């Protein structure tokens, strides 16, 4: 099994929407607020952009062939922020080209 932390797709969409809204507010404020207030607002928007978004989506996955001729693929992912969760698995009991499954491994008598 392997694991990874990635950006959550749902959180990324929300982050992008919020950033776009902040930029829209910044554009709307131009000429309507003092220069100092506008500069402070712009710096805040720039900081948000530099900060980006954290990797909150934990992924676990595995892929492989088992000695008896079966193939498996498993994936799970869950966000620690918004709780988005996704699971996927696929099993192929017999890989094409293998005529019969061998007996279980272990000691023989």
Q: Which residue has the tokens 């990324």?
A: 12
Instruction: List the beta bridge partners of residue 79.
Output: 57
Per-residue CA distances from 78 to 1, 11, 38, 93 (Å): 16, 12, 39, 27
pLDDT in tens, 77-105: 999 999 999 999 999 887 777 766 555 56
Helical H runs in the chain?
A: 9-29, 35-51
Q: Say whether 5 sits in a helix, a strand or coil.
A: strand
Query: Quick one: pLDDT at residue 103?
Result: 59
Report domain extents, the chain.
2-92
Query: Quick one: pLDDT at residue 48?
Result: 81
Low-confidence ranges of the chain (pLDDT < 70): 99-109
8 A C-beta contact, residue 10 and residue 84: yes
């Amino acid at each position: 099994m392997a694991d990874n932390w990635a950006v959550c797709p749902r959180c990324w969409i929300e982050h992008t929407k919020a950033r776009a809204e902040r930029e829209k507010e910044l554009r709307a404020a131009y000429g309507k607020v003092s220069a100092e207030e506008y500069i402070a607002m712009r710096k805040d928007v720039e900081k948000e952009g530099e900060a980006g978004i954290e990797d909150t989506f934990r992924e676990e996955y595995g892929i492989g062939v088992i000695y008896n001729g079966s193939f498996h693929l498993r994936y799970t992912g869950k966000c620690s922020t918004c709780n988005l969760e996704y699971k996927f698995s696929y099993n192929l009991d017999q890989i094409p080209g293998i005529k019969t499954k061998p007996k279980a491994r272990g000691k023989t008598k």
